[in-house]
Amino acid sequence: EPGKAARWFKVLITDNKSGKDIVKVTLPISMAKLLAHCAKDKHLHTDKADIDVAAALRGLEEMSPMALLEIVDDDVTVKIWLE
């Protein structure tokens, strides 16, 4: 729905051979924000970037529902989206 903010962060990993879901995660973005608030380290550190987790989650919360990532290979399909 255009103009409607996303409320859910979803991940689905499907076995392409059997068609069965291997991993299925549905997490309210508000819960992810709460977990991030409780974390000792408020930044995700990598050798290439320093990510402010709270700011990233605020950004996700402000986005409309959309696909973020879809990877299909011979064995599995990985989908990550906002709903």
- Classify residue 18 by its DSSP letter: T
pLDDT tens per residue across span 2-50: 668 888 999 999 999 999 999 999 999 888 888 777 777 777 777 877 8
pTM of the full structure: 0.74
Q: Phi and psi (nearest 5°) for 33?
A: -65, -40
Specify the pLDDT at position 58. 78
- Classify residue 1 by its DSSP letter: -
Q: Which residue has the higher pLDDT, 8 or 59?
A: 8
Q: How many residues does the chain have?
A: 83
Specify the pLDDT at position 32. 81
